[in-house]
Structure 1
Amino acid sequence: MTGSRIASLGHHQPASVLTNEDLAALVDTSDEWIRSRVGIRTRHRAGDDEPVDDLAAGAAAKALAGAGLAPDDVDLVLVATSTAIDRSPNTAARVAARLGMSSPAVMDLNVVCAGFTHALATADHAIRAGSARRALVIGADKMTAVTDWTDRTTCVLTGDGAGAAVLEAVDGDGEPGIGPVLWGSVPTMGNAVRIEGTPPRFAQEGQTVYRWATTQLPPIARQVCERGGVDPVDLAAVVLHQANLRIIEPVARRIGAVNAVVARDVVDSGNTSAASIPMAFSKLVERGEITTGDPVLLFGFGGNLSYAGQIVRCP
């Protein structure tokens, strides 16, 4: 096997929508304040009866249908999440049970906002090693469950949702559709983004994260392009973690992807942590903004001050 490719994508969001005006009734904020600082207009909020595995299974079912596969055609399920409540069964096992799978390997990965790109690379490595032929990779988070609704600097950011990708092996002389990953972290600054305490609550040092993301990440993203054999000017799309529009726009510009569509799903979905990249990618494909074979940069960053990125080919 020479690698893997993305066969299909899917996404799922709760029906309930929380607007900036809704938030203004809870804390001292306004639509203008929120838009000017983070660019977010709305976000989706899951109810008490919609756990993380419910969101994940919804996205996974759509991705499987798009690939024309049955659940048992998949032998590895990876779920990137940092908001699952229970330790066991893990979210991947619960998704597999919901979908009716019989015997896949099931693992959760917690790399917070960079979780999906870490999970994508892990699944690609498993396929390259021959330990899986098809993998279901999901990013799913219920960030509103860990939100401090009294903190106007963070409660305006968060949303809930899930995105999924089906990966399959590329045999023989086929061209791999997922390039080498470049990943790492800054452990000494990991406390800048955190979900901790009892009950757990999301908090961050906003200015620290902004400076790190806008200054340190663009050269790393350009290295990702180099490893993937694609010049930034030839990218069809850039899908960054949907943290904040005021981070996404300068980082995309400094990468040098002048001809690329830049995903801005954060405007309508908020920051959905591990779900943000696969949801934004799936929506670009669904709307026809990119086409099969197009080179796309996926680049996750955030909690732990972790980052991971790769060049992929659009399914």
Structure 2
Amino acid sequence: MTDRRTLRQNQGPSATRIIGVGSFQPERIVTNDDLSKIMETDDQWIRDRVGIVERRFADKDELLVDMAVKAGTAALIDSGVDPSEVDTVIVPNCTMPSGIPNAAAQVADRIGIKAPGAFDLNAACAGFCYGLGVASDLIRAGSAGKVLVIGAEKLTDSVDPTDRANAIIFADGAGAVLVGPSDTPGIGPVTWGSAGDLVDTISMRDHRYIHQEGQAVFRWATTQIAPIALKALELAGLEPSDVDVLIPHQANLRIVESIAKKLRAKGAREDMDVADDIRYSGNTSSASIPLALDHMRKTGRAKTGDVVLAIGFGAGLSYAGQAFICP
């Protein structure tokens, strides 16, 4: 006799892909020379240490939610998908002013997405890759149809403007992708993890300002992240030589270049295009990877069909990455 209480489970499509990309940055450009007027630093010192030339700062009344709405709307326009077709919204971030209400429900409503599943995700600078992995799995499990993932940060609210080590790095912005079903795999499996024993290397000072042990984070990122990127390729059935575009989290240009060098030592091509969005966008945490992707598409550095390898890492310490096909 069949137990009538046996539960059903959804079954979704076998594959997913990114079908739209969008981004937004505030209008205010802050150069290294601008920062030198309020702290002891100069243009060359900043370029030598982190590779940043300029970054974007939001105005005081320009909120994280505002930037997320603009990036998410841009991704929908790029995809040609109507908001009514989206049933889930994920907003990776670590800088919402308060835990309640979350950003996702507000963002969805303002974009015109009615009654979606909506939640924020905090994995700091690894947040976008976490969100992309969750979105893909939700669709394949049959729990969602189309998912809008928006990495958005207003980091200037969380940085002491007189703290030279951090004030030169962080900036504001948002980047988004729309994820949907696909006949062929367009997003590889996520590889993720954390190093909780190093949690104190990036934290909030006085529950207000970001504090990081710069050298410790640098050593961790330059030694531990490349193997994680290689694992993401292995899970996707790819070789380093298959990668057309590498987009690490834009934390520090020296870290980005170190990861690329290690991947090339394992077989990645010399003509692999490596994101360097940090030069003109700064470190935008969970927004940095989709921002870089959108900028690289618009300038032709990332083309439709390219194999992209993304890898995020940051506070937690958390990390995540996956390969995907550029839309």
TM range (shorter): over 0.9
- 2:124 matched residue in structure 1: 112
Q: Is the 8 A contact 1:7 1:67 kept in 2?
A: yes
5+ long unaligned stretches in structure 1: none
State the alpha-carbon separation in 1 of the partners of residues 56 and 256 from structure 2.
Answer: 20
- Which of 192, 196, 199 does residue 201 from structure 2 map onto? 192
- Which of 140, 154, 167 does residue 155 from structure 1 map onto? 167
- Which of 46, 56, 70 does residue 58 from structure 2 map onto? 46
> In the TM superposition, what are the counterparts of 1:22-37 in structure 2 within 5 Å?
22-37=34-49
State the alpha-carbon separation in 2 of the partners of residues 127 and 97 from structure 1.
Answer: 21
State the alpha-carbon separation in 2 of the partners of residues 38 and 112 from structure 1.
Answer: 19
| 1:232 aligns to 2:240 (yes or no) | yes
- 1:217 matched residue in structure 2: 225
State the alpha-carbon separation in 2 of the partners of residues 302 and 255 from structure 1.
Answer: 20
Q: Is the 8 A contact 1:213 1:247 kept in 2?
A: yes
Identity of aligned residues (%): 45
- 2:82 matched residue in structure 1: 70
State the alpha-carbon separation in 2 of the partners of residues 178 and 288 from structure 1.
Answer: 21
Larger Rg: 2
State the alpha-carbon separation in 1 of the partners of residues 180 and 233 from structure 2.
Answer: 22
State the alpha-carbon separation in 1 of the partners of residues 165 and 98 from structure 2.
Answer: 28
* TM-score of the aligned structures, taking structure 1 as reference length: 0.97
> Which residue identity is paired with 2:223?
T
| 1:260 aligns to 2:269 (yes or no) | no
Q: Is the 8 A contact 1:115 1:274 kept in 2?
A: yes
* TM-score of the aligned structures, taking structure 2 as reference length: 0.93
Cα deviation, residue 207, structure 1? 0.4
5+ long unaligned stretches in structure 2: 1-12
Cα deviation, residue 176, structure 1? 1.3
4+ residue runs over 6 A deviation: none
Q: CA deviation digits over 1:162-210, x for unaligned, max 9?
A: 000000112xxx2111000100010000111123534x11110000011
- 2:257 matched residue in structure 1: 249
State the alpha-carbon separation in 2 of the partners of residues 207 and 162 from structure 1.
Answer: 27
> In the TM superposition, what are the counterparts of 1:166-177 in structure 2 within 5 Å?
166-170=178-182, 174-177=183-186
State the alpha-carbon separation in 2 of the partners of residues 103 and 93 from structure 1.
Answer: 8
State the alpha-carbon separation in 2 of the partners of residues 34 and 290 from structure 1.
Answer: 27
> Which residue identity is paired with 1:227?
L
- 1:182 matched residue in structure 2: 191
- 2:30 matched residue in structure 1: 18
Q: CA deviation digits over 1:269-306, x for unaligned, max 9?
A: 00000000000011111111122121100100011111
Q: Is the 8 A contact 2:293 2:302 kept in 1?
A: no
Q: Is the 8 A contact 1:234 1:260 kept in 2?
A: no
Aligned residues: 311
